[in-house]
Amino acid sequence: MAESTSRPTAGVRSTSDRRMRSSLDDLFDDIGDLPSSSVSGSKSKQSSACTSMHTTQSSSGGAVAGKPLSKCMGLMLGGTHRQRGRNGSSVGTVLCCDSLRCTKCDFKVIWFQGKVWDSGVDYLFFRNNFPTESKLAPMLLGMPDACAYCCQCTWQSISADVVVDYGSELRWVCAGHRTSPGL
């Protein structure tokens, strides 16, 4: 019987190899035409790109590059009795995160100490009025020990400590905290 035709012959294989090499050479030539800053071949260039993504807004509105941001170790929300900051930064101290971000709407979470949300608030109220505090204020009621939290899609009135974890309905995460220069 004749040899099977499903196996490529040496001549066909070398032709397809030449075509593939030619295509790869064309791609490498295209990459070579890019400015050198676009191609990051070293690890130092890659790490500087990663840290530049961790920028924060300065008070003047411009981005400030710095160290990567530290995240909370366990996310805690609470009323006015809790201090704010990075939870886990001090042993024995429980802090409420003051750098919350919603993964659902991708907005920063703001809070109002000594306030709770009126029962008449709804999703459209926050969609239309967030983050302008003066527009949100009419639906805030005074309550000394509570804290009213909101983003553009979710709101909570909290007076006791609440742990936010993966099983929680809240999709809020720590956006990160700047560490002091000595750390």
The single-letter code of the amino acid at 167 is G
Q: Where are the beta strands (DSSP E) in the chain?
A: 56-57, 63-64, 75-77, 100-102, 110-117, 140-150, 155-158, 162-164, 172-174
> Which tens digit of pLDDT belongs to each residue from 114-173?
999 999 999 999 999 999 999 999 999 999 999 999 999 999 999 988 888 777 888 998
What is the rounded average pLDDT of the residues 100-116? 94
Per the omega criterion (within 30 degrees of 0), is the bond before 68 cis? no
Tell me: pLDDT of 101 over 80: yes
> Which tens digit of pLDDT belongs to each residue from 48-75?
222 222 333 444 444 455 667 888 888 8
Q: What is the predicted pLDDT for the residue at 89?
A: 63
Parse the chain into domains and list their residue ranges: 10-64, 75-174
**Using CA atoms, how far apart are residues 56 and 74, in angstroms rounded to an integer?**
22
Q: Which residues contact 70 (CB under 8 A, 6 or more apart)?
A: 86, 89, 176, 177, 178, 179
In angstroms and rounded to an integer, the radius of gyration of the C-alpha atoms of the chain is: 27
